[in-house]
Structure 1
Amino acid sequence: MSTLLATITAVGLVGALAPAVQAQAAVPTSDTPDFGSNVKVYDQSTPASTIQSDVDAAFDSQLRSTSAQFGSQRYAFLFKPGSYGRVWANLGFYTSVAGLGKNPDDVTINGALNVDSGWNAGDEKNATQNFWRSAENLSVVPESGTDRWAVSQAAPMRRVHIKGNLTMGPSNQDGGQGYSSGGYIADSKVDGTVTSGSQQQWYTRNSSLGSWQGGNWNMVFSGVQGAPANDFSKSWTTLSTTPVTREKPYLYVDSSNKYHVFVPSLRTNSAGVTWPNTPGTDIPMRNFYVAHPGDSAATINSALSQGLNLFFTPGTYQLNAALNVTRPDTVVTGIGFPTLVPTAGNAVLTTSDVSGVNVSNLVVDAGTQNSAQLVRLGTSGSHVDHASDPQSIQDVFFRVGSSIQGKASTTLQVNADDTLVDHIWAWRADHGGAATGWNVNTGATGVEVNGDDVLATGLFVEHYQKYEVLWNGNRGRTIFFQNEMPYDVPDNASWQSPTGAGYAAYKVASGVTNHEIWGGGVYCFFNTNPSVHADRAFETPTGSGIRAHGLVTVSLGDTGTISSVINGVGGAVPTPAGNTAPNRLGSYN
């Protein structure tokens, strides 16, 4: 952004001068952009040995590394339409594999997309830290007949066709180890059987399965053909449809090797996959500003002011001001886990109270100066009906503490009515490349919802120091919630809410008259002080418009106490049975 334009914008006088100034400062765009050196693009002429060498180099560099989990490495492997001979792709941290067809079956990987245990330093016996990786928009013919996807949080599988079976536990799970703690599948098809194995919780949305086997604590399905029948005694919470969905935008390449981003259409009360022939809006890549690490907030905001969408390439972006999205239907997305970091206690992204803004595929790290919010959608106090074209945020992962001793009061604030929050992991870190601790990486609330009629599908929020989810808006709905309370509470004197001992993980404000949640799990592990207890996992008003289905609490290793499930209702954990046994409440109100 030029100094003149910045000055004009600051005093609110863009008006008549803006077109001339913006014309001088126009940023270049292209239908065949440079995605940077961290992105590899393959076609059918690429030797299988080259592809294998590339994916092996990315994974092998992370094997038992003590720094990879919070490192700066980023990888995106993109496949143009075609069938690819044996590729066995082990996916490590910050690794994305995606097809570039219009439909998943346009790209076929023969071999595997493999995620297992045994490779991550300090977590070799489990898969509970298999974060930050993704598979999208392709089909897989598993070499052994079964693909392994033993992921934990922040590892989405979207628009994938598994032409065989899928197992989500690691290969050592039968030895009494090998736990995994994720995850999320949407708009995908598995021809065979999905086996959850040692997964502690899982959310599957708008997909098609041959069959499902297994259940641990909290398995949730909405709009899934082939899902098991609702049976919370087996951990299954099943909804036949999902109330509102809009699948995430995806990148594809046409027959002229020009790139596009496709934005699927809104669906209501839907089930099954959107493909082939997904309805939606096609946006040529020339309508995007393709950002690269080193771009400033001013440069990116200049592109937004020209009416461009944003596409982030892999890497880390240091931003001294928020990226301000004011145009309806703006798409902000990226590939390869681009990471936004505030440098001056600012938010990294804000949106006006307009319709259709779509934000996806980002990691947001809190900076060393406290941010009031990291991402803010809509305008506080404004209530505009966006039901026909809601804002959405998908596959966006927040970290308070990682390689940075970060601080943020709230990581995501949702003010816009009707917003779709679809697969979020907001995480106050319990470990990191930088030191963590109660007074070090501070964060009060992961997700604050002020808008009305907001729907969350796949809400993972962990370790915040006050209410981890604070829901102030009316008629809110959540399908699948996973939480771990903060591990590092020093004592109950340091952790007192207005209503008693500890803070509920999921708080619905007292003025709310209508709210509903399906499939919520809250776990405690107060290892700093096992005598710590929380009075309740969920806290809501008690009116007839408040409903909950399929709630579960767990004391991990029987370390610390949650005294009730919701509002004093439901038993405590640890249970008399001990040994991390869950406590279940099938329904409330």
Structure 2
Amino acid sequence: MPRRLGVLLLAALLSLLLGGVASAETDYTQSITQLDAGRAQISFTPVTPAAYVDVHYLVNGTGQQNVRMTNNSGTWQHTVSSLSSGTTLEYWFTYEKNGPQYDSPHYTYTQGSGTTSVAAPVFSPGGGTFATAQTVTLSVATAGAQIRYTVDGSTPTASSPLYSAPLSIAKTTTVKAIGVKSGLADSAVVTATYTIGLASATCPAQPDVPNFGSNVRIFDPSMSSASIQSQLDADFNALKDTQTAQFSNGRVAHLFKPGTYSVHDNVGYYTSVAGLGQNPGDVTINGDVTVDAFNASDAGNATQNFWRSAENLAINPSSGSDRWAVAQAAPFRRIDVRGGLQLYPASYGWASGGYVADTRVSGQAASVSQQQWYTRDSSLGSWSGGVWNMVFSGTTGAPPTTFPNPPETTLATTPVSRDVPYLYLDGSGKYRVFLPSLRTNASGPSWANGSTPGTSLPMSQFYVVKPGDTAASINNALASGCDLFFTPGVYHLNQTLNVTRANTVVLGIGYPTLVPDNGVDAMHVSDVDGVRLKGLLFDAGTVNSAALLTVGTQGSGTSHAGNPVSIQDVFFRIGGQLAGKATTSLVVNSNDTIIDHIWAWRADHGNAGTVGWTVNTADTGLLVNGANVIATGLFVEHYQKYEVVWNGQNGRTIFFQNEMPYDVPNQASWNSGVNGYAAYKVAPGVTSHEAWGLGSYCFFNTNPSVNAYHAFEVPNTAGVRFHSLATVSLNYQGTITHIINDTGAVTPSGTTPSNLVSYP
């Protein structure tokens, strides 16, 4: 956005470390699979887990490409596109093994030659935690192929046991399998771990009135307004400034017990404000909960008002309207605004939000200078405003669809939604976490007719994570059957957090920040029902992680439609605070997952030395392999390749906001067979996908001659449908030639959008 003008970005050509000692092929298995007429997938499975694997390849002997592969459950993969029958690939690998780096021999492959690989086996059920023994079925899509498997942790080969009947798994076991067939290359190795006997583990009793630590403020109506205001002001003054607080370690939560308060809470960075009632009306603020263009360094704009939230209370605004002038990662949820809601700064400067859900505004909600906004399952007195992309689903009082003039898109209902878990006090003064029920075709707030439907859990089932906890202590709590309640803080992880139990709740307040160290992934969630993740910030460490968060097992056919995983108010950052690196931020393998409000951001500004083309490296923000996944409120910015890759069938997205990377050094370093990379790519084999209200913007200020051929790349088939698309060249720094595929006009000068009502 123009918000980052003046930020010095480091730009250099991407370089890969080549060379090393020769490898032994006993170190790994490799294969290449023809996915369709134009694509082939290269796979590399090391015997010893590798910190990284690079593939180098030539197409018909020219144009060498060097690519960091994507780690999918131990198998590193990369898909080569734009091939034709007879195209020859020469490829080889560079990989890490216990520290040193090795080079493989060169291999060759001819597209369409029949030298393809067997499809990867599929497990049913997928790996996870189960109370009792499981019967596991393996299948493979390649006709006539066999499945070879192991249960001792070793890598299967063509001489491993032959799968002929379902496997009975009576104890914790890791199953690895490959598909084999004469004349074809073996499939990639697929792995699933079945943890037996812990699903019913009882969390050791935790306090029902826990110590939430020094970063959580708990206010009571018996306290004087002056004393509460003093604490609110002190926290705001410490966390308000764009220059000093934006990339600081400060984290805080303001929690209000049921009652009425006459205060004004200005909300700074990394601050969560929440009521502790079961319903919004249980806590009333006679005053304001405000975000504005607070600092001179913002020049009257609100485009850097990230990472702050308000939730679960009622506001009687002092001036008739509450102001929530925010950018990304700043949700406004479960709030009863008894008046108007101003989503723009008092200065009328730029703002780049934003997200509202499960909220009632009795007066007018006005966006004015907001560039884009998404409102879900809410009720508005009325709506005013629209710059580029305003989207509503399940919101009464929303304007009708008039895109692009004005640029408003409205769905009468939200197809699938589930409101966030939240902390509250019960009638006996004990803390509990409420779990709202799944909604289909929802309209209006979940609490509009009284209490939100759902169930609740006592805090005695939650391990309260506080600064000083380690990955080991957190994993021990998970293995013991506990849910997790993260308090505000920064948590460095030297091992992956493993969420394996169905229906686990991981809930954070005050932007708890998970930093993976030494190249580990931050969190893995097994392919199980009902896991709820809410209120977390994943911040990439300085050694590359393959993925920050992975949900489910790739290739699993298990349906979770009745009790899906939900990922809500979960944010990802590459660079800015640290010189972070992560190939992919979020990988979603579980079918039916709900992605509800994420911001995946490769930083375009930050602390000195943390931002640059070869500094904070990141390929992709969101990779979806699961079927029937829905994203409501999807924000993904500045990644270096395809920013969203959607491989699963029947995907849906309602609202997408994107900026392409600012710091592309030149066209040669940013090319996918056409100029640049699409911001949102639906894989060629997908036959059903639908999306509404999508905007992608370019600002190639490092080299304004850079061009993106298109912002959206999708199969040209009747089942893939897009509605209300916009592209913008910010201050005409570079261009986007088409909106989607070969359709749509080039971005005009200035900040005028190029619009497309529907595709195809």
TM-score higher than 0.5: yes
Instruction: Look up the SS of the partner of 1:501 in the other structure.
Output: coil
Contact 1:316–1:341 (Cα < 8 Å) also in 2: yes
Mind listing any 5+ residue stretches in structure 2 that lack a counterpart? Answer: 1-151, 154-169, 174-194
User: What's the counterpart of residue 635 of structure 2?
Assistant: 460
Out of 477, 486, 492, the position equivalent to 1:303 is 477
* Deviation for aligned residue 1:307: 1.1
Superposed counterparts of 1:434-445, under 5 Å: 434-435=608-609, 436-445=611-620
Instruction: Look up the SS of the partner of 2:738 in the other structure.
Output: coil
Look at both structures and tell me which one has the larger radius of gyration over its CA atoms.
Answer: 2
CA distance in 1, matches of 2:418, 2:639: 29
For residues 434-463 of structure 1, the C-alpha deviation after alignment (integer angstroms, 9 at most, x for no partner) is: 420000000000000000000000000000
CA distance in 1, matches of 2:294, 2:531: 40
Superposed counterparts of 1:65-76, under 5 Å: 66-76=243-253
* Deviation for aligned residue 1:558: 1.1
CA distance in 2, matches of 1:562, 1:18: 52
Q: How many residues align?
A: 567
CA distance in 2, matches of 1:126, 1:324: 40
Relative to structure 1, the CA distance from residue 13 to residue 137 in structure 2 (aligned partners, 3 Å threshold; closer, same or farther) is same
CA distance in 1, matches of 2:427, 2:410: 41
Contact 1:318–1:343 (Cα < 8 Å) also in 2: yes
Contact 2:365–2:383 (Cα < 8 Å) also in 1: yes
1:147 aligns with 2:322: yes
CA distance in 2, matches of 1:473, 1:64: 41
User: What's the counterpart of residue 238 of structure 2?
Assistant: 61
Greater RCO, 1 or 2 (C-alpha within 8 Å, sep 6+): 2
Out of 292, 313, 322, the position equivalent to 2:487 is 313
Superposed counterparts of 1:72-111, under 5 Å: 72-85=249-262, 87-111=263-287
TM (normalized to structure 1)?
0.94
CA distance in 1, matches of 2:270, 2:624: 28
For residues 240-267 of structure 1, the C-alpha deviation after alignment (integer angstroms, 9 at most, x for no partner) is: 0000001000100112211000010001
User: What's the counterpart of residue 268 of structure 1?
Assistant: 440
Identity score, percent? 59
CA distance in 2, matches of 1:355, 1:63: 39
User: What's the counterpart of residue 541 of structure 1?
Assistant: 715
* Deviation for aligned residue 1:380: 1.4
1:580 aligns with 2:751: yes
CA distance in 1, matches of 2:438, 2:197: 33
User: What's the counterpart of residue 242 of structure 1?
Assistant: 414
Out of 326, 330, 343, the position equivalent to 2:517 is 343
CA distance in 2, matches of 1:63, 1:317: 22
* Deviation for aligned residue 1:568: 1.1
Superposed counterparts of 1:341-420, under 5 Å: 341-420=515-594
CA distance in 1, matches of 2:383, 2:633: 19
CA distance in 2, matches of 1:326, 1:61: 38
Q: CA RMSD in A?
A: 1.8
Relative to structure 1, the CA distance from residue 546 to residue 107 in structure 2 (aligned partners, 3 Å threshold; closer, same or farther) is same
CA distance in 1, matches of 2:265, 2:402: 36
For residues 3-36 of structure 1, the C-alpha deviation after alignment (integer angstroms, 9 at most, x for no partner) is: xxxxxxx999769x9999x99x975511111111
User: What's the counterpart of residue 202 of structure 1?
Assistant: 373
For residues 207-256 of structure 1, the C-alpha deviation after alignment (integer angstroms, 9 at most, x for no partner) is: 00000000010000000000000110211010000000010001001122
Farther-moved stretch of structure 1 (28-37 vs 73-82): 28-37
* Deviation for aligned residue 1:535: 0.3
Instruction: Look up the SS of the partner of 1:198 in the other structure.
Output: coil
CA distance in 1, matches of 2:196, 2:751: 62
1:38 aligns with 2:196: no
TM (normalized to structure 2)?
0.73
Relative to structure 1, the CA distance from residue 63 to residue 160 in structure 2 (aligned partners, 3 Å threshold; closer, same or farther) is closer
User: What's the counterpart of residue 226 of structure 2?
Assistant: 49
CA distance in 2, matches of 1:66, 1:585: 38
Instruction: Look up the SS of the partner of 1:212 in the other structure.
Output: strand
CA distance in 1, matches of 2:618, 2:589: 19
Instruction: Look up the SS of the partner of 2:668 in the other structure.
Output: helix
Instruction: Look up the SS of the partner of 1:332 in the other structure.
Output: strand
User: What's the counterpart of residue 5 of structure 1?
Assistant: none
CA distance in 2, matches of 1:294, 1:118: 32
CA distance in 2, matches of 1:63, 1:429: 19
1:510 aligns with 2:675: no
Contact 1:294–1:318 (Cα < 8 Å) also in 2: no
CA distance in 2, matches of 1:19, 1:231: 55
* Deviation for aligned residue 1:43: 1.3
CA distance in 1, matches of 2:313, 2:260: 10
Out of 335, 341, 356, the position equivalent to 1:160 is 335
* Deviation for aligned residue 1:75: 1.2
For residues 402-461 of structure 1, the C-alpha deviation after alignment (integer angstroms, 9 at most, x for no partner) is: 211000000000000000000000000001124200000000000000000000000000
Out of 476, 493, 497, the position equivalent to 2:668 is 493
CA distance in 1, matches of 2:266, 2:442: 33
CA distance in 1, matches of 2:668, 2:242: 38
For residues 68-112 of structure 1, the C-alpha deviation after alignment (integer angstroms, 9 at most, x for no partner) is: 101011111101111112x11111101111000010001000111
Relative to structure 1, the CA distance from residue 63 to residue 241 in structure 2 (aligned partners, 3 Å threshold; closer, same or farther) is closer
CA distance in 1, matches of 2:462, 2:576: 30
Farther-moved stretch of structure 1 (550-559 vs 427-436): 427-436
Out of 617, 624, 630, the position equivalent to 1:449 is 624
CA distance in 2, matches of 1:471, 1:139: 38
CA distance in 2, matches of 1:387, 1:77: 35
Relative to structure 1, the CA distance from residue 394 to residue 140 in structure 2 (aligned partners, 3 Å threshold; closer, same or farther) is same
Farther-moved stretch of structure 1 (345-354 vs 151-160): 345-354
* Deviation for aligned residue 1:124: 3.0
For residues 473-514 of structure 1, the C-alpha deviation after alignment (integer angstroms, 9 at most, x for no partner) is: 01100000000000000011000013x000000000011011
For residues 89-143 of structure 1, the C-alpha deviation after alignment (integer angstroms, 9 at most, x for no partner) is: 1111011110000100010001111111142x63232100000100000000000
1:423 aligns with 2:594: no
User: What's the counterpart of residue 484 of structure 1?
Assistant: 659
Mind listing any 5+ residue stretches in structure 1 that lack a counterpart? Answer: 1-9
